[in-house]
Structure 1
Amino acid sequence: MARTSLYLPGVHGPTNCVRVPQAPIHPASQQPSIYPAVQFFLETCPAPGIAMPFPEPGLRISNMMRKLSQVYGGDDQVMDALSENSINVYINWPGYRATQKRISTLSGSITRHDLVLSLCKVILEWARDPEPTGGPTDGRWSVGDGQAIKPHNIFVTELVHRGGSSWQVEMWVTQDRF
């Protein structure tokens, strides 16, 4: 699976979705990134005439929280090469202050399924009370109730290493807002 970049619009996101534009985090992004990105795919059933399932990029938070999604490679221990017992996960959503949360790696034994579930919980916790930057914002990226993006409809596609114990989560939303 190819790594996508947080700098450029990705082409490996969920169908009919757009990537949340996030600036890379600092200062950790100035440190060398030595771990490959962890990608998250929805495991789908094979279509008629196709022998292998075709994994769809990204997992919708609401489906993960209701245990409706099967994570492709969900039992893989994706952090087994890490020396850290936990990682710092950053969310840098447009129009809101960047936030950081710690996630345990279970000494490297965390599975892809448990990692994406932890990321979903971190995003939901952040979205309960996001702190606006105070400057002009693009209303299309507002998070909350009413006409805003609903946190449960965010897709998690990837966790990108930014150096040290710093990682940044890549998220997508449905394109009907844009």
Structure 2
Amino acid sequence: MEFDPNHLRDPYKTVDDNVEPPDLECAICFCQFNNVFNTPKVLQCKHTFCLECLARMNVTSSQPDTIQCPLCRAYTPLPNLGLPKLANDSTVLSYLPAAMQHVYSIRFNRDKGKLQVKRVPSSAPAPTQAISQTLDVGNPAGSEGHQGRDGGRERSLLITVLKTPLCKAFIMSLVAIMTVVLTITIIIISNKK
């Protein structure tokens, strides 16, 4: 079944058959855009992604003041007030239902890896569903334990690899083999005396 972007359209707007509607879902997570954590944010390269995915990218980036587009690799500097202040894609927003065209004010705390609803716009109608007030987007780069900036990514990769079941089995087998070899060596040395 193919996604029909017109089912989300405001029924009172006219449809121009010559203009192709924009994608109404994020190219990273494939979630439909909305007016909260999946707000469509447009980068300088004109590619659009949801705020949540951009926050997840930023929190793991070694360059917290910029976002690198996952499609074209162009860099977009972040506004002074942070990631949520990137421009909204007004074209995408115009295709959302009228109640979703009022964007919520969101804060991004990179140090804690959290997106948080700051306040509901006064012009927005009351939401039909409860809105989660915070969203965890992950740990910032280099925040594993008390690591410094250099070596943090390598250590976290090593920790991740060491936690995989196959690697654990290999390490345990290696320890068992080394124990047997060491025991045999000690027995041979003690018998020669």
What interval of TM-score do these two structures reach, taking the shorter chain for normalisation?
A: under 0.3
Higher helix share: 2
Q: When the two structures are superposed, what TM-score results if normalisation uses the length of structure 1?
A: 0.25
Bigger relative CO (Cα 8 Å, ≥ 6 apart): 1
Higher strand share: 1
Max radius of gyration: which structure?
Answer: 2
TM-score (norm 2): 0.24
